[in-house]
Amino acid sequence: MSILGGVYAFQTQTSMQPAVPQTLVIAPGTSTFGIARQLESAGVIRSGLMFRLLARLRGDAQELQSGEYLFADAATLPQVMQRLRRGDVLLHRLTIPEGLRSDEVLSLFAAQTDTPLAHWQEVYRQLLNGQEGEGRLLPETYTYRRPVNAHAILLDMLKAQHDLLQSLVPAWLDVQGLRIVASIIEKETALDKERPLVAAVIRNRLACHMALQMDPTVIYGLWRTDGNFSGNIHKGDLQRDTPWSSYTRKGLPPTPICNPGAASLRAAAAPADVDYLYFVADGSGGHAFAATLEEHNANVRQWMKIERQR
Is residue 134 over pLDDT 90? yes
By C-alpha distance, which of 55, 29, 28, 25 is closest to 42?
Answer: 25
- Do the strands 141-144 and 92-95 form a parallel or antiparallel pair, or are they unpaired? antiparallel
Taking only the tens place, the pLDDT of each residue in 262-299 is 999 999 999 999 999 999 999 889 999 999 999 999 99
What angle do helix axes 195-207 and 262-269 make, rounded to 10 degrees? 40
Is residue 245 over pLDDT 70? yes
Is residue 260 over pLDDT 80? yes
Rounded to an integer, what distance in angstroms lies between the CA atom of residue 279 and that of residue 213? 11
Neighbours of 47 (CB within 10 A): 17
pLDDT of residue 214: 97
Share the mean pLDDT of the chain. 93
pLDDT of residue 228: 81
pLDDT interval class at 4 (50, 70, 90): very low
Taking only the tens place, the pLDDT of each residue in 140-194 is 999 999 989 999 999 999 999 999 999 998 889 999 999 999 999 999 999 999 9
pLDDT interval class at 9 (50, 70, 90): low
Q: Got the DSSP string for 8-37?
A: HHHHHHS-B--SS-EEEEE-TT--HHHHHH
Taking only the tens place, the pLDDT of each residue in 36-75 is 999 999 999 999 999 999 998 888 888 999 999 999 999 9
- What superfamily would CATH give domain 2-86? Endolytic murein transglycosylase (3.30.1490.480)
What angle do helix axes 2-13 and 77-86 make, rounded to 10 degrees? 50
Length of the chain equals 310
What is the mean predicted confidence (pLDDT) over 130-134?
Answer: 96
